[in-house]
């Protein structure tokens, strides 16, 4: 007995109801229903499409009725349902009815096993729904997610373009090309539309099979093509491709691409921002993939807009970086300074950070200051800070201070610069940007063959002996510049054999102990030219090891040739100035210097010796050094330094150092552990015929 309004199965009314229900399901359902026997042949099917006669499918194997992208996988699923009875729900496969024209669609398939009353399998019911539009919308959303993930995380135009094609291929395009206005790649402002036919575009990125162009190629857009039109009115173009496409005749490169790849659909989207043209994105589809439609055009526009903003940000960064790099290079020495007892060479590796600097400064007594440092950060302000520190350290070098004293005074200047930055208005972008810098200062003395080093947060130098063996140089590490650490700086002194090589490197080149060993291996042939040793260190770097930029300064130690200097120990009495004048004249005549220089030098030495005898303590030494200038040095053991003063008319003395300052180009006092040295430098007139 059934409820009211029901029908009892097995009765005439119940059987009629079941037949009517089955007929309604097959004839009126929007779902494609297929009844398959145990051999997976179609026994019954409802009307699927106006373009296909459903009755023609009866008797065909399911994989014959449908042309599937992966028929083996579909057949495996059908057998699995038939054998296990497990239902497969909402599985998406790609294919189409064998008799239906066009490309494959996304089909959602649900599979149920049909059993008789005893539970024996009779076949499979396959419900098929065309979900192509839904899957395309989902794919578009996934593609946009990929674009947002891949593009916009780097301040590099090329990286932004590479990220765009990586996100679009193969999920949205079979082949993608991004071309950027050549000036934009160099950081210049993009031109306003319409883009002139003479403006070159450079291929910044491409991905996918087809096309013989390489990244880096440039071209000018041929007229009367979708490419030229897109950068004229800044509107995208959707174009079907084929042998009869009219505009291909004026664009042989695109015609060749279409022919080789079989591309059948093209979207061209301008990379634009505020009416300016940054470049162009070209997207191709080929094979059995559906042609682009208007919905795809909307996605391409969104992706291009995101990429254009990223490219513009990268362009602005590149523009600022070019200016900052120019300032940096103008602030650094152009050439390796030629010194009498030391040879130097350097390499500046470009990168995001432009705060690296180095310097070689000639000091009195044939000594040389070797400096390397790095200001963290990028942009013009970093280069300016670097220039300020370099200027200060050059001024301090002229005071003949010990390396630790130089760094201590440099740190005082750094503290003042940091205070100035902190005092900026809160709205200023520099207010919250902390300053950080490192520096190392070394002095090499060729007469003692010693190198004295102090460092402020900078990696210690790498030293290699003339036989290629490493030399241990343990330099205490002082605090970095701009830090709040008030610990004092310390020095380390090492005696080096003639021909030793010192390597001063910024931190990005020495991230760990293995890097030190790598540099030592590269320097294991110190007899090679320094330029080759610089290159060897660079070649040994891992790929991408210095994205922030780096500096390298090499120095090969030497001694002053005996024929270029003379040293005398003199008596500490009143006859010494006369003796010194005679010794100086004999030596300078031997060096073939002119009479005017000899007379001036005699007077300088006489005044220095007189001052040392009167106010200094023995022993007393005189040294002459001939280089690009003539240097006179008088050493004594008194720590008291004389002072320049202008003698009054009635004074009988006091004019000695004033006379010296008028005759010498430079003069000063240098202190050491054993006393002091008064020194002067004189310019030497060039021989006739030389400038």
Of 140-149, 321-330, 451-460, 630-639, which range is least confident?
A: 321-330
Q: What's residue 675's pLDDT?
A: 87
Of 29-43, 474-488, 572-586, 602-616, which range is least confident?
A: 29-43
Mean pLDDT of 481-507: 91
Bridge partners for 306 per DSSP = none
Joined tokens for residue 250: 């004026």
Look at residues 59, 140, 44, 131 and name the one whose alpha carbon lies nearest to residue 96: 131
Are 626 and 565 in contact, with CB atoms under 8 Å apart? yes
Residue 355 has phi, psi (to 5 degrees) of -100, 5
Are 209 and 189 in contact, with CB atoms under 8 Å apart? no
Of 7-21, 41-55, 429-443, 660-674, which range is least confident?
A: 7-21
How far is residue 68's CA from residue 255's CA, in Å, rounded to a whole number?
31
Mean pLDDT of 410-435: 83
Q: Could you tell me the domains of the chain?
A: 29-130 (3.30.450.20), 136-321 (3.30.450.40), 335-557 (3.60.40.10), 562-683 (3.30.565.10)
Local confidence band at 287 (pLDDT 50, 70, 90 cut-offs): confident
Burial of 163 (0-12, 13-18, 19+ CB in 10 A): buried
Residue 94 has phi, psi (to 5 degrees) of -110, 130
User: How far are the Cα atoms of 351, 461, 504, 508, 552 from residue 373, in angstroms, in the given order?
Assistant: 15, 12, 9, 12, 10
How far is residue 605's CA from residue 585's CA, in Å, rounded to a whole number?
11
| Residue 553 reports pLDDT greater than 90 | yes
| Residue 15 reports pLDDT greater than 60 | no
Q: What is the DSSP string of 662-674?
A: HH-SEEEEEEETT
Mean pLDDT of 586-612: 92
Question: Model pTM greater than 0.85?
Answer: no
Q: What's residue 383's pLDDT?
A: 86
How far is residue 73's CA from residue 438's CA, in Å, rounded to a whole number?
63
pLDDT above 90 coverage of the chain, percent: 42
Mean pLDDT of 264-272: 95
| Residue 591 reports pLDDT greater than 90 | yes
| Residue 260 reports pLDDT greater than 80 | yes
How far is residue 70's CA from residue 76's CA, in Å, rounded to a whole number?
10
Are 679 and 631 in contact, with CB atoms under 8 Å apart? yes
Mean pLDDT of 269-280: 94
Local confidence band at 62 (pLDDT 50, 70, 90 cut-offs): confident
| Residue 649 reports pLDDT greater than 50 | no
The model's pLDDT over 383-421, given as tens digits with 9 standing for 90+, comes to 888 889 999 999 999 888 999 999 999 999 999 998 888
Q: What's residue 337's pLDDT?
A: 62
| Residue 11 reports pLDDT greater than 60 | no
Mean pLDDT of 350-364: 85
How far, in whole angstroms, is CA 20 from its chain's centroid?
73
Q: What's residue 46's pLDDT?
A: 79
Does residue 476 have a cis peptide bond before it, meaning omega lies within 30 degrees of 0? no
Q: What's residue 136's pLDDT?
A: 80
């Amino acid at each position: 007995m059934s409820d009211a309004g029901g029908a009892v199965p097995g009765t005439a009314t119940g059987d009629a109801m079941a037949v009517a229900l089955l007929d309604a399901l097959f004839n009126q359902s929007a779902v494609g229903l297929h009844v398959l026997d145990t051999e997976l042949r179609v026994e019954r099917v409802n009307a699927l499409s106006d373009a296909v006669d459903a009755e023609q499918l009866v008797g065909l194997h399911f994989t014959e009725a449908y042309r599937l992208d992966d028929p083996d996988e579909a057949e495996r699923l059908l057998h699995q349902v038939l054998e296990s009875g497990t239902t497969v729900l909402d599985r998406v496969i790609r294919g189409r009815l064998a008799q239906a024209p066009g490309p494959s669609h996304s089909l959602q398939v649900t599979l149920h096993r049909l059993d008789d009353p005893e539970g024996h399998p009779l076949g499979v019911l396959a419900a098929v729904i065309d979900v192509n539009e839904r899957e395309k919308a989902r794919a578009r959303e996934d593609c946009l997610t990929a674009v947002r993930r891949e593009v916009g995380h780097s301040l590099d135009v090329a990286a932004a373009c590479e990220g765009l094609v990586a996100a679009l291929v193969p999920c949205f395009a079979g082949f993608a090309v991004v071309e950027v206005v050549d000036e934009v790649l160099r950081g210049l402002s993009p031109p306003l539309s319409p883009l002139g036919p003479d403006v070159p575009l450079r291929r910044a990125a491409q991905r996918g099979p087809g096309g013989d162009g390489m990244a880096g190629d440039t071209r000018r857009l041929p007229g009367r093509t979708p490419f030229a039109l897109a950068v004229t009115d800044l509107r995208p173009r959707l174009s079907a491709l084929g042998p009869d496409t009219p505009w291909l005749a004026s664009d042989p490169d695109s015609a060749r691409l279409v022919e080789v790849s079989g591309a059948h659909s093209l979207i061209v989207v301008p990379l634009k921002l505020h009416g300016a043209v940054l470049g162009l994105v070209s997207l191709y589809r080929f094979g059995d993939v559906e042609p682009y439609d208007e919905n795809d055009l909307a996605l391409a526009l969104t992706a291009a807009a995101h990429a254009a903003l990223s490219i513009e940000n990268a362009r602005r960064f590149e523009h600022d970086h070019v200016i900052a790099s120019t300032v940096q290079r103008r602030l650094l020495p152009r050439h390796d300074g030629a010194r009498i007892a030391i040879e130097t060479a350097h390499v500046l590796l470009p990168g995001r950070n432009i705060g690296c600097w180095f310097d070689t400064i000639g000091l009195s007594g044939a000594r040389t200051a070797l400096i390397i440092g790095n200001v963290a950060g990028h942009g013009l302000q970093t280069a300016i800070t670097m220039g300020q520190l370099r200027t200060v350290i050059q001024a301090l070098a002229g005071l003949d201070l010990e390396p630790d004293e130089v760094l201590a005074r440099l740190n005082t200047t750094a503290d003042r610069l940091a205070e100035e930055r902190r005092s900026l208005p809160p709205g200023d972008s520099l207010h919250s940007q902390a300053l950080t810098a490192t520096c190392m200062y070394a002095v090499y003395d060729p007469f003692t063959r010693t190198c004295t080093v102090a460092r402020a947060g900078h990696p210690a130098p790498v030293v290699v002996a003339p036989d290629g063996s490493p030399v241990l140089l343990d330099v205490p590490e002082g605090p970095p510049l701009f830090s709040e650490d008030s610990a004092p700086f310390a020095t380390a002194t090492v005696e080096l054999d003639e021909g030793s090589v010192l390597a001063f490197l910024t931190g990005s080149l020495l991230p760990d102990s293995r890097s030190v060993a790598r540099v030592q291996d590269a320097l294991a042939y110190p007899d090679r030219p320094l330029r080759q040793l610089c290159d060897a260190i660079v070649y040994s770097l891992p790929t991408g090891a210095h994205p922030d930029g780096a500096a390298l300064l090499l120095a090969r130690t030497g001694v002053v040739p005996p024929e270029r200097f003379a040293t005398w120990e003199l008596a500490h009495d009143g006859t010494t100035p006369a003796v010194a004048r005679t010794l100086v004249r004999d030596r300078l005549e031997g060096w073939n210097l002119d009479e005017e220089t000899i007379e001036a030098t005699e007077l300088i030495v006489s005044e220095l010796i007189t001052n040392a005898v009167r106010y200094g303590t023995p022993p007393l030494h005189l040294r002459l050094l001939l280089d690009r200038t003539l240097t006179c040095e008088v050493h004594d053991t008194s720590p008291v330094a004389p002072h320049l003063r202008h003698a009054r008319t009635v004074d009988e003395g006091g004019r000695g150092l004033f006379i010296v300052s008028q005759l010498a180009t430079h003069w000063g006092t240098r202190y050491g552990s054993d006393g002091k040295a008064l020194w002067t430098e004189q310019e030497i007139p060039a021989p006739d015929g030389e400038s």
